[in-house]
Amino acid sequence: MRGLPRNGRPRLKKLVRIGTLNVGTLSGKSREVADLMKRRNIQILCLRETRWKGEKAQEIGEGIKLFYKGEDGRKNGVGIAISESVKDSVSAVQRISDRVMFVRINMKEGSWTIVSVYAPQTGCPDKEKDEFYEALDDVIRSVPEDDFLTIAGDLNVYAPQTGCPDKEKDEFYEALDDVIRSVPEDDFLTIAEDLNGHVGSDRRGEERVHGGRGVGSKNGDGERILDLAVAHDLAICSSFFAKRESQKMTYSSGGRKTEVDHILVRRRALKTVRDVNVLPIEDVATQHRPLVADLNDILPPKVRVRTEPRIRWWKLRGPERSELKRRVLGAGLPNPDGPVNETWLLATRTILQCAKDVLGETKGGQKGDRAAWFWNDEVQKAVREKKNAFKPWQTSRLLEDLAKYKKYKRSAKIAVSRSKTTEMDSLYEKLEQPQAEKFAFRLAKARHRACLDVRAVREVKSATGSVLRAPVEVKSRWEEYFKGLLNEEFPRESVRDAEPVEGPIQLWTEEEVQKAVRKMKVGKAVGPHRVPVEIWKVQGGYGIGWLTRFLNKITAEGRMPDAWRDSFIAPIFKEKGDAMECSNYRGIKLISHTMKIYERLVDSRLREMVSIPQEQFGFMPGR
């Protein structure tokens, strides 16, 4: 008999696992969600009833990133947690409401739209239900036809529960409809949802979207789900797989069990779904069980970011400062009166070699997981005890087992709270130290970077609107965009040329160069030649003297080093609009620091020679 993958036989085809779970509340549970995803090998998990206020992204541990949306923090709220191997492939995030949101992920070919939904419950007003389904319908229609669409993935929806006004349910389904309509037809679309409806086992009239393997009978809210599925040709995945009833029930409370969670995909993509199952005995949510679907691997391989080693210039604040000065002085810089290009190349080589020897280089690579800063041994032990108490209660349903579980659950909450308080006290102590300001800025910068929805865009739109995914095509598009942007000419009035004044070139003085160097800020990103302004600040009189003679040589010849013409352009997303549109990025140009010094000299000399009217405010200090 052929062995199963879990018994050691390697799986012939790699799978992607997507899941959906109603967590009840995410407060104090985010690290448990990350642990669940790691243990169960879930790459994408759609969460509902998170009850977190606001809308942003957050690292929750194990390299997992959570995108969420909530209103008042007391009810509803949806989110999508994405594993470390997938999060860098996220190309767009859209939060429709605290019941619907979606994420778009780059695939090997095309895109995958994942919608997370929490529909209004039975008992909610019909108007609310209608609005919900209309919104969901719009989302589905917005997805391109050739995109892989999964409802429970790129599009998140939280449906109103039983008891919600009909108005709330209507609003929910209207929003969900809008999301579905917005997904391109060629996108892979997945909707992972808690639609609070029963589709039952009767498939008459809906054979294309209903597999007939449901549980129980259909209700009114189940009819809404089927109407949505038929309208957009979406298959209800679990209804196509024969399972024991216990493997289909996603909700259990007070002796009642039912199936309210579903994963939907485009009907033509149903063949990519290999299995749908409910994970038993997971205590992240007491009443709900995680529903997961295994799909054929449609994701691109993880991109390994190659980071170049960097010289540790920040160590110049320590004792290495004087050692580097002595080392450069001993090695000696080339004659500044020689050929400009050769002189600069030799000077750069000498400076960088001395800096490597004295300051050292970084190894590069990704930083470790710092999201779960409170996840210490005590917390892990308390959570483990809670899990161990949960399993016997689920099996026996005895009151003494329930009391034991509640006791350990309360202890786990206390352990998490105590650990967070201790870590915050340590943080406050650091903020009272002399270097507190720099530490606070560094901490804020790191938190801001971690909260960005899209940190790296690997696909952009061409000038005609088509999506480019190949790295060569993406680079070519950026080159085309910035060439057009930086070389665009506008009509302007001609300016009368003044008569040229010839005379001896006024040399730069060491005082002028010293003043320009002093005004330059430290710790800034360097250009391609990697020599920062700090080196001239460190070298003192020797460095200023050499630099003055070299800049005078450049002025006399009327030619700067060819290396100064090279620069890096880094596109920075403006955090609004389509992340694939080049026009929604601000280009930051990284140029030679030494050339910036020369520009300051020219600027200061020109300001002494010209009269600037009072109407000019830009780049005028004091105005």
Instruction: Give the integer Cα–Cα distance in Å for 269 and 272.
Output: 6
The phi and psi torsions of 521 (rounded to 5 degrees) equal: -85, 150
Instruction: Give the integer Cα–Cα distance in Å for 521 and 517.
Output: 9
The predicted pLDDT at position 24 comes to: 84
Secondary structure (H, E, C), 15-57: EEEEEEEECCCCCCCHHHHHHHHHHCCCCEEEEECCCCCEEEE
The predicted pLDDT at position 371 comes to: 46
Nearest CA to 169 out of 264, 97, 71 is that of 97
Q: In whole angstroms, how far apart are CA 299 and each of 148, 264, 268?
A: 11, 18, 18
Judge residue 598's burial from the number of C-beta atoms within 10 Å of its C-beta, 0-12 exposed, 13-18 middle, 19 or more buried.
Answer: buried
Instruction: Give the integer Cα–Cα distance in Å for 355 and 353.
Output: 5
Distance, C-alpha 481 to centroid of its chain? 24
Structure tokens at 160: 């109103």
Which amino acid is it at 489? E
Q: Are 109 and 161 in contact (CB under 8 A)?
A: no
Q: Are 132 and 160 in contact (CB under 8 A)?
A: yes
List Cβ neighbours of 279 (8 Å cut-off, separation of 6 or more): 19, 40, 289, 290, 291, 292
Instruction: Give the integer Cα–Cα distance in Å for 374 and 107.
Output: 34
Nearest CA to 412 out of 374, 382, 373, 376 is that of 382
The predicted pLDDT at position 284 comes to: 82
Helix, strand, coil % over all residues of the chain, rounded to 5: 40, 20, 40
Question: Within 13 Å of residue 558, how many CA atoms lie on the same side as its CB?
Answer: 1
Q: Compute and round to an integer the Cα radius of gyration of the chain.
A: 31
Which amino acid is it at 68? Y
Reported pTM:
0.69
Nearest CA to 358 out of 384, 331, 337 is that of 331
The predicted pLDDT at position 301 comes to: 67
Q: Which residues of the chain have pLDDT under 70?
A: 1-13, 73, 121-124, 152-166, 169, 193-196, 300-307, 364-376, 424, 427-428, 430-440, 442-443, 446, 501-503, 617, 622-623
pLDDT in tens, 196-218: 677 888 888 889 999 988 887 88
pLDDT in tens, 375-426: 667 777 888 888 788 778 777 778 888 888 888 888 888 887 787 777 767 7
The predicted pLDDT at position 193 comes to: 63
Question: Within 13 Å of residue 211, how many CA atoms lie on the same side as its CB?
Answer: 19
The predicted pLDDT at position 3 comes to: 44
